[in-house]
Structure 1
Amino acid sequence: MHPMEHLRYVARAGDLSQDVLVREAASALGALASDPLELVTVCRRILDKYPVAGALWSMAAVVCASAQPYRDAREFAAELRADATADRAADALPEGATVCLLGWPDLAAEGLGRRADIEVRIIDAYGEGAGLARRLAGDGCEVTDVPLAGLAAACSTAEVILVEAAAAGPEAVIAAGGSHAAAAVGYVSGVEVWCLIGQGRALPQPLFEAASSAVADEPWEYDEEIVPIGLFSHVVGPGGIEPAAGWQRADCPLAAELLRPPI
């Protein structure tokens, strides 16, 4: 398949996990490595299609700043596949904890199946909670499928609330709708709220502003929302768990060419 057609396929594919999206895009972008101008143009076009995918922004920044874009795109995709964030979060949960999460987040749900000692409350956002509840129950977890109307009651009486960032900046993250409410309930109730920021999802502030601009301008048009870092007690990343206060990380360089409007 021609690389441009491959990218058009990726852009039409709909709801893909970030690691799959990056892997497919990296494969296609590698074929454009000899044409830097075309590489930047294609990156900007696919980011316009997936504006809140932090890992895609990071990969685009990496390849646009690279002298060897094909090699670096493949290495970046491999780093994403090896991301330990889900395992770090699962390992850090207290024994016997009651944990809340929204919908079916890629990373936050990944490691919970091996923690049969915890109780998981899945708030059924976007109609995805029931499917995850069945999967975790099959793994031996104690699971409660909570309707969205029960968000406050479920979160205020949990030990840990897990929120997964689609993209993160120094002061805020983009997360699934309902995450702001869940984090705020945890904050005022004294419940720990952990933000999972997977490999590749932490952006320099200018790139985060570009990724979040559409959500910020028309928040009612998107399934995602912006959540201030100040509502989280901890951040979990590939290196483990740390206090959210003072958290700083960027997984890519600042590629200014990505900040121009798509052509």
Structure 2
Amino acid sequence: MHPIEHLRYVARAGGGDPAGLAREAAFALGSLRADPANLVVASRRLIERHPDAGAMWWLCAQLLVSDDPSTLAWELADRLMDDPVVDRLVTAIPADATIVTVGYPPAVAESLVDRTDLLVRCADTEFRAGDLVRRLDRAAVAAEPITHDELARAVAEADLVLIEATAACDRRVLATLGSQVVAATATSAGTPVWLVVPTGTRIPHQYVTEVARRSIPDDDGWRASVDDLPLDLIDVVVNADGRTTEVAVALRPDCPFAPELLRTGIV
């Protein structure tokens, strides 16, 4: 596929795994070998089409400040493909634990398929919990969907709640729709809330603020595509370095700030 067509495919793709979309964008941009001005245009268009994908902001910011973006694009694609967060989470979850998840968290799902000792109860959002249950069933992991009526009891009985970030910094966390309710319920019940931060989601606060602006409309909160998750509801963070209770430290951005992504108009 020609790189331009590949970029159009990524831009048109709906939903899906943000890291997977960013990885495909990295492949396309690595092959395109665009000059700086065209790279800015391509990056802005990708962000415009996927404003709530933190990994896309992470990718584009690093490419825009690089002296060799084509080579870096391939390196970043590899990092997104082999996310160390998955292995960190696999080893961090206690044996024989009962876990509550929200929707379909891609990195969490990738981790849970290797833990057949767990019981996973999946709270639904955007009709995605069924997808997680089916995937875990195929991997011989005990999993069951839970309704809103069952949420409080399921969370109270769980050993921990796993929530996956879509974009995060040490000031603010955006996560899957429904995460705030589940986290607040867990805090009330005394159940630990673990925030899983996949590679590509720790970005500068200016970007997180912009993701929130585009994804949580002020005039109609019902059209939000992410939840604003208060940091005080998070007990543990699992990132590429492992598990920690130092929430703000673990959420510090691991990519530079490229102001070009926040500008509009002609380059």
* Structure 2 length-normalised TM: 0.92
Larger deviation: 97-106 or 253-262?
253-262
Larger deviation: 139-148 or 198-207?
139-148
Q: Name which of 237, 252, 256 aligns with 1:253.
A: 256
Structure 1 consecutive aligned stretches of length 4 or more whose deviation exceeds 4 Å: none
Q: Secondary structure at the match of 2:107?
A: coil
Residue of structure 2 in register with 1:238 after alignment: 240
Given that 2:160 and 2:192 are in contact with CA atoms closer than 8 Å, whether structure 1 keeps it comes out as yes
Deviation track 1:236-260 (CA, whole Å, cap 9, x = no partner) reads 0111111144324212101011111
Residue of structure 2 in register with 1:185 after alignment: 185
Given that 1:203 and 1:252 are in contact with CA atoms closer than 8 Å, whether structure 2 keeps it comes out as yes
Alignment root-mean-square deviation, CA: 1.8
Residue of structure 1 in register with 2:10 after alignment: 10
Q: Which runs of 5+ in 2 are unaligned?
A: none
Q: CA 1:262 to 1:241, structure 2 compared with 1: closer, same or farther past 3 Å? A: farther
Deviation track 1:147-169 (CA, whole Å, cap 9, x = no partner) reads 23322222122110000011112
Q: Secondary structure at the match of 1:217?
A: coil
Given that 2:195 and 2:238 are in contact with CA atoms closer than 8 Å, whether structure 1 keeps it comes out as yes
**Residues 218-229 of structure 1 correspond to what in structure 2 (within 5 A)?**
218=218, 219-229=221-231
Residue of structure 2 in register with 1:84 after alignment: 84
Instruction: Give me the whole-angstrom Cα distance separating, in 2, the residues matched to 1:16 and 1:85.
Output: 19
Larger deviation: 61-70 or 184-193?
184-193
Instruction: Give me the whole-angstrom Cα distance separating, in 1, the residues matched to 2:179 and 2:246.
Output: 16
Given that 2:217 and 2:223 are in contact with CA atoms closer than 8 Å, whether structure 1 keeps it comes out as no
Larger deviation: 159-168 or 25-34?
25-34
Q: CA 1:166 to 1:46, structure 2 compared with 1: closer, same or farther past 3 Å? A: same
Given that 1:45 and 1:262 are in contact with CA atoms closer than 8 Å, whether structure 2 keeps it comes out as no
1:36 CA drift (Å): 0.6
**Residues 153-192 of structure 1 correspond to what in structure 2 (within 5 A)?**
153-192=153-192
Give the % identical residues.
37
Given that 1:232 and 1:244 are in contact with CA atoms closer than 8 Å, whether structure 2 keeps it comes out as no
Q: Write the letter of the residue equivalent to 1:254.
A: F
Deviation track 1:24-63 (CA, whole Å, cap 9, x = no partner) reads 2112223454421111111011101101111110110011
Instruction: Give me the whole-angstrom Cα distance separating, in 2, the residues matched to 1:41 and 1:28.
Output: 14
Residue of structure 2 in register with 1:208 after alignment: 208
Instruction: Give me the whole-angstrom Cα distance separating, in 1, the residues matched to 2:225 and 2:19.
Output: 19
Q: Write the letter of the residue equivalent to 1:29.
A: L
Deviation track 1:178-201 (CA, whole Å, cap 9, x = no partner) reads 100011111122111001101111
Equivalent pairs counted in the alignment come to 263
Q: Write the letter of the residue equivalent to 2:90.
A: A
Q: Which runs of 5+ in 1 are unaligned?
A: none
Larger deviation: 138-147 or 176-185?
138-147
Residue of structure 2 in register with 1:107 after alignment: 107
1:16 CA drift (Å): 2.7
**Residues 4-83 of structure 1 correspond to what in structure 2 (within 5 A)?**
4-83=4-83
Given that 1:116 and 1:140 are in contact with CA atoms closer than 8 Å, whether structure 2 keeps it comes out as yes
Q: CA 1:262 to 1:21, structure 2 compared with 1: closer, same or farther past 3 Å? A: farther
* Structure 1 length-normalised TM: 0.93
Instruction: Give me the whole-angstrom Cα distance separating, in 1, the residues matched to 2:189 and 2:27.
Output: 46
Q: Secondary structure at the match of 1:201?
A: coil
Instruction: Give me the whole-angstrom Cα distance separating, in 2, the residues matched to 1:126 and 1:20.
Output: 19
